[in-house]
Structure 1
């Protein structure tokens, strides 16, 4: 059996009382019950990436800042990503956009899936993130989860999905596994 894909589940919010953490934990727990995926939670609250201050754009490579180098290694270590993306004012949370912008080549040619919540299940955040992911040469997947009524599904610090959420996260895992393996094989082939 092939080694499972290493997937980073990135929490796209650092707000106090955020729903990103219980939703991210739900994603991790569901993935643990599946073959082929090894998910790890990445909390941007623990990274404290400043708004990009360096004169050289990340696409140019040659990082020298220690924090940028550490973030690059973390991103590079993965075979794919699941972004937990709330919608803030019809868009992407600034902390998540900044984390994506902080490095470049490390994201390339890897699949990314989205679990959104907020207005319209995070649809506008996911739509905008899809455009950003394309520019980072990622492969954004159609299989997104749009959680409606996230606050009503929070019970004692946990997220309790409905049948639709459960069905869509299963589809997301299936697609991420397929695309993750296809792209990993292509990257390995050179």
Structure 2
């Protein structure tokens, strides 16, 4: 069996987003922690997705918009996902929810992990993301990674804007556990889909 491919999906598209800093740290850490998974950073900004306007999910009706089709082709390449999410008004960014809606069969029976950031670590956004992932027939992994509270304000431009290394000791154990969960589920689901 080939190495499972994992997309680290940056869920925010705002110009002022914080996402790039933890995304770049996460992909570097993930690659250094395991060679059992192949990671790729996928930025929603690169896909110019319209608001979902198809007749139905592509589980039921083929999509027509070429931008949605490009997104679906990209997501089909992966065996699992880590969704990097902020929390906007107690949920995930609309850009991430829209991206999830733009695909259907690409998500089925694949694991989904979450890495949240914000004053409460995007805890409510992650819970919403898990509920959506279940409805999309994904397998949400139990362990999440979160940057919250004083750690968030240490590395965020809203606070001290320090390097991610200053909070690594606090978040690395949850990242390691999340990756271990993701690796197990990615291998199990890939074998079962095969």
Aligned counterparts of 2:64 and 2:13: Cα–Cα separation in 1: 26
Report deviation, 1:157: 8.0
CA offsets 1:23-71 (integer angstroms, 9 cap, x no match): 1111100111112111111111111101112233333142232222111
Q: Is the 8 A contact 1:85 1:126 kept in 2?
A: yes
Work out whether 1:159 is the aligned partner of 2:155.
Answer: no
- Aligned partner of 1:9 in structure 2 is 8
Structure 1 residues 6, 157: CA separation in 2 closer, same or farther (over 3 Å shift)? farther
Q: Write out per-residue CA displacement over residues 95-116 of structure 1, whole angstroms, 9 at most, x where no aligned residue.
A: 0000000010110000000000
Cross-structure match for 2:182 = 176
Segments of structure 2 that go 5 or more residues without pairing to the other structure are: none
Residue 156 of structure 1: how far off its partner (Å): 6.5
1:82-101 residue CA offsets vs partner (Å, 9 max, x unmatched):
00011111111000000000
1:20 corresponds in structure 2 to 19
- TM-fit CA distance, 1:3: 3.0
> How far, CA to CA, are the matches of 1:43 and 1:65 in structure 2?
19
CA distance in 2, matches of 1:77, 1:142: 23
Structure 1 residue ranges, 4+ long, deviating more than 4 angstroms after superposition: 154-158
**1:44 aligned partner:** 44
Query: Which sections of structure 1, spanning at least 5 residues, go unmatched?
Result: none
Structure with a larger share of its residues in strand: 1
| Preserved CA contact (<8 Å) 1:31 1:38 | no
> Per-residue deviation at 1:20?
1.0
What is residue 31 of structure 1 aligned with on the other side? Answer: 30
Q: Which moved more, 1:84-93 or 1:158-167?
A: 158-167
For residues 126-160 of structure 1, what are the alpha-carbon distances to aligned partners after superposition, in whole Å with 9 as ceiling and x for unaligned?
00000000000000011101211323124778533
Question: What value does the CA root-mean-square deviation take over the aligned residues?
Answer: 1.7
Q: Is the 8 A contact 1:61 1:105 kept in 2?
A: no
Matches of residues 47-62 of structure 1 in structure 2 within 5 Å? 47-62=47-62
Any idea what SS the aligned residue of 1:58 has? coil
Q: Partner of 2:129 in structure 1?
A: 129
Matched with 1:140 is 140
Could you say what secondary structure the match of 1:59 adopts?
Answer: coil
